[in-house]
Amino acid sequence: MEAITGTTLGVTIGITIILMGFCAFMTGQAIANTWRSASQLLPYALLLGLTDRFLVYALFEGELLSVTGYIFDTVILFVIATAAFRMTRVNKMLSQYPWLYERVSPFAFRLRDGATF
């Protein structure tokens, strides 16, 4: 695992998943709450990945220029941000248009039977 992430498993869980994962979750919610496009998630995830790499390096003497570590961390953060974006967007659509849409899952909604635009 250290060969891929450039640090230990504990640091990866603590910094990437818990600390930066919370930041990614909040980023996904903020983008969804302001009705921005999901395409904005990628640049923010890339920046969060850079921040994650720096924190791992500065606090735990991890590898700063680990390309595989950066890609691994950024993918995790992008997935978390995307999940938060989708859950927030579904909740927002259902709360603003309850007569038009119904929940299918935490990540999806559909047009109600008989509802038209």
For position 114, what pLDDT does the model report?
Answer: 78
Residue 1 token pair: 């695992």
For position 117, what pLDDT does the model report?
Answer: 64
For position 3, what pLDDT does the model report?
Answer: 84
* pTM (2 d.p.): 0.92
The proportion of the chain whose per-residue pLDDT surpasses 90, expressed as a percent, equals 90
- pLDDT for 9-65, tens place per residue? 999 999 999 999 999 999 999 999 999 999 999 999 999 999 999 999 999 999 999
CA angle (20, 11, 87) in 5-degree steps: 30
Do residues 45 and 21 make contact, with C-beta atoms less than 8 angstroms apart?
no
pLDDT of 6 strictly over 90 = no
For position 85, what pLDDT does the model report?
Answer: 98
**Using CA atoms, how far apart are residues 48 and 38, in angstroms rounded to an integer?**
16
Neighbour tally for 45: CB within 10 Å:
24
**Using CA atoms, how far apart are residues 86 and 39, in angstroms rounded to an integer?**
12
